[in-house]
Amino acid sequence: MEIYTEEEERTMKKVLFLTTGGTLSCEASEDGLIPKLQGAEILAQVPELNTLAKISVQDLCLIDSSNLEPEYWSRWAEVIGDNYNDYDGFVLSHGTDTMAYTSSALTHMLINLGKPVVLTGAQVPLSLSNTDARSNLQLAFTIAVSGLPGVFVAFGNKVIKGDCAKKIFSKNFNAFESVNETPVLFFSKSGMKKNLPDRQIVGGFRVENKMEAKVMAITVTPGLKPAIIDFAVEKGYKGIVLELYGAGGINTEKNDFLPAIRRALKKGVKIVCVSQCLFDGVDLSLYPMGILAAQAGVESGAGMTLEAALTKLMWILANR
């Protein structure tokens, strides 16, 4: 059955709806929430989306996003690249747990992106009456037809740049925060605030989708032994993101990390640091340990989230 008139066929924006699973698509079972709904079933349950765009569906996988692997990003970026010229925008439904990793990874991989690629999901499955999936999908499709270029997370009361998103609530409907950048859109009781990115697109769109999977994050904690770095190197890791205290604190006394950092760098391992604090990021010029870490060759991730820094390192190591 054709759902669009000839006029709509001509004028409506085209969106490719890519689905990957997550809570949005879950159904309750004796074993807990299991991803079940494919794209066509989601669209059938939220038919109003068809008034926003002419939608085609491609189901990429059906997983809880805790089972995400870096090679999935490479495949998904390729799908977006292969369909780039045929659509005005893309919506990717995704589990919330690792959505910020995927939105960051796609931000690095989709170069000179001139169209919206919008990730969304839900805290409560579409199959339940108190779901947030419906409103999140409506927001995502609205952004997907807006022409706003870039990768975004559209969720709850915000639209966030892909590499600034961070999941900060495990249950609250406004699950994501925009870290160190004002959200692109923010809805509150006093109305909508806009901070649209001012992007200059230079050159044609292309996909660089290789990823080095041997990248890990290490959170420094009191009592952690520097040998963890040697262990990572022995296990073949090519990149390490160090999650440091505050503005860039790391132990340089009893459990001095600097010698292990120097050994790792000498073997060609890249080390980037981010802050354990949600906001403001690292400033390696502030304290002696930060200055020493920078002198040893640790690169500052500045205000980047862990998700953005880890995926950028994976991407740089594979593509540069």
Q: How many CA atoms are closer than 13 Å to the CA of 89, on its beta-carbon side?
A: 23
User: Which token pair is 161?
Assistant: 């740049």
Residues 312 and 301: their CA atoms lie apart, in Å, by 10
Residues 134 and 283: their CA atoms lie apart, in Å, by 41
- Give the residue closest to ligand ASP by C-beta: 95
Nearer to ligand ASP, 34 or 296 (CB): 34
Smallest gap from residue 101 Cβ to ligand ASP (A) = 11
Nearer to ligand ASP, 275 or 305 (CB): 305
DSSP 298: P
Length of the chain measured in residues? 320
- Using CB under 6 A as the criterion, which residues of the chain lie in contact with ligand ASP when the complex forms? 22-23, 64-66, 95-97, 121, 123
Number of H helices and E strands in the chain, helices first, is 9, 18
Is-catalytic flag, 11? Answer: no
Nearer to ligand ASP, 69 or 234 (CB): 69
Smallest gap from residue 69 Cβ to ligand ASP (A) = 13
Smallest gap from residue 67 Cβ to ligand ASP (A) = 8
Q: Is 11 exposed, middle or buried (0-12, 13-18, 19+ CB in 10 A)?
A: exposed
User: Catalytic pick from 19, 20, 23, 120?
Assistant: 23
DSSP 71: H
Nearer to ligand ASP, 36 or 210 (CB): 36
Which of 26, 33, 94, 83 has the alpha carbon at shortest distance from 60?
A: 94
Smallest gap from residue 217 Cβ to ligand ASP (A) = 18
Smallest gap from residue 49 Cβ to ligand ASP (A) = 19
Nearer to ligand ASP, 160 or 318 (CB): 160
E strand map for 14-138: 14-21, 26-29, 32-35, 54-63, 89-93, 110-111, 116-120
Residues 22 and 100: their CA atoms lie apart, in Å, by 13
Active-site amino acid positions: 23
